[in-house]
Amino acid sequence: MTWTPIRRALCGAAMLLALGSAAEAGVARTWVGSSGNDSNTATNCTRAAPCKTFAAAYSVTQSGGEIVALDSVGYGPITITTPLTIIGLEGAFVSVQSNTTGITINSGASVVLRNIQISGAAGSSNTIGIQVNSGKLLLRNSTLSRLTTGLSIAAGRADVIDTEISNNTTGVSTTGTGVDPQTLPITGNTLVRISYGDVINNTTAYFMADPGVGKYTILLRLQGNSAADITTNQTGNTTMVAGSGASCPCTAVGNYSNAVNYNY
């Protein structure tokens, strides 16, 4: 057979289309459940035939898609590298074993986690509930408990809303340059904003490493104009704020008002 330039071009186009289809493989919504089986990735983890773990369902979920948990069972650890939403129903949870992390986010984009309970396994040590290495996390109506570090942020952003962070060695830990909440525009590569919920009974509630002079990496939402108007319950912590680095404001965290919308 003689391969003319036109035929070669058509063959190349077909190959590109095939590669494009492979890149778009998967579906926008997948499901996990206590009755699931990870072999159901073959049929894209449908509601009728869910997978068993978040990691398996994620393997067939399109970028920007979502994973829905059907019931209360452990769904295992997951590392996220694309935009994703995980929605838990009826107490979906991740049990974190020693020397591991429950959910790792390396996405460089937006990840949403709702109704997820993340806790250290019985007798575990050196555990992290959620580690954000890049990107932006929205954590809502969730729990981080009995962990060495509940939420760890390094050069990333997080909004934490109506979430319980309790009984951890460190509730929230951040590393990297923060923001000056009194100066616009808001700049800095590391930021956690906490609205409502509870940060309670932790050995250290908040830890900031090298946030920068006059800057904060952890902000608490205010309903009014004073620290008395903080919306988050912070009772029972042994140490409220600690940190490292010569520039660390280790005796306080920043705050922000309902009236101010910090786009970041």
Is residue 10 situated within a structural domain? no
Q: Read off the pLDDT of residues 156-201 as tens digits, 9 standing for 90 and up.
A: 999 999 999 999 999 999 999 888 877 766 667 899 999 999 999 9
Task: Indicate whether 3 pLDDT > 50.
Answer: no
Task: Name the pLDDT band for 89 (thresholds 50, 70, 90).
Answer: confident
Cα distances (Å, whole numbers) of residue 123 to 97, 147, 203:
9, 10, 17
- So what's the pLDDT on residue 19? 29
**pTM, to two decimals:** 0.87
- So what's the pLDDT on residue 33? 96
What's the mean pLDDT in 112-137? 96
By residue range, what is the domain housing residue 167? Answer: 68-257
Q: How far apart are the first and last CA of the chain?
A: 58
What's the mean pLDDT in 74-85? 96
Cα distances (Å, whole numbers) of residue 73 to 91, 125, 130:
7, 22, 18
Domain count, the chain: 1
- So what's the pLDDT on residue 162? 96
What's the mean pLDDT in 59-75? 96
What's the mean pLDDT in 3-21? 38
Rounded CA separation 236/79 (Å):
32
- So what's the pLDDT on residue 213? 84
- So what's the pLDDT on residue 71? 92
Is residue 62 situated within a structural domain? no
Is residue 204 situated within a structural domain? yes
- So what's the pLDDT on residue 141? 96
Is residue 63 situated within a structural domain? no
Task: Name the pLDDT band for 4 (thresholds 50, 70, 90).
Answer: very low
Is residue 76 situated within a structural domain? yes
What's the mean pLDDT in 62-82? 96
User: Which residue in this structure is represented by tokens 């525009």?
Assistant: 185
Is residue 157 situated within a structural domain? yes
Task: Name the pLDDT band for 2 (thresholds 50, 70, 90).
Answer: very low
Is residue 109 situated within a structural domain? yes
Task: Name the pLDDT band for 260 (thresholds 50, 70, 90).
Answer: very low
Q: Are strands 254-257 and 204-209 parallel, antiparallel or unpaired?
A: unpaired
User: What Rg do the C-alpha atoms of the chain give, in angstroms?
Assistant: 21
- So what's the pLDDT on residue 25? 61
Q: Could you give the angle at the alpha carbon of 210 between the alpha carbons of 208 and 216, nearest 5°?
A: 55
Q: Read off the pLDDT of residues 203-229 as tens digits, 9 standing for 90 and up.
A: 999 999 988 888 889 999 888 766 668
Is residue 39 situated within a structural domain? no
| Residues in CB range of 205: below 8 A, 6 or more apart | 165, 170, 171, 172, 199, 234, 237, 239, 240, 241
Lowest mean pLDDT among 41-55, 121-135, 246-260: 246-260
4 vs 221, residue with greater confidence? 221
- So what's the pLDDT on residue 118? 97
- So what's the pLDDT on residue 247? 72
User: Which residue in this structure is represented by tokens 């460089």?
Assistant: 108
What's the mean pLDDT in 6-31? 52
Burial of 74 (0-12, 13-18, 19+ CB in 10 A): middle
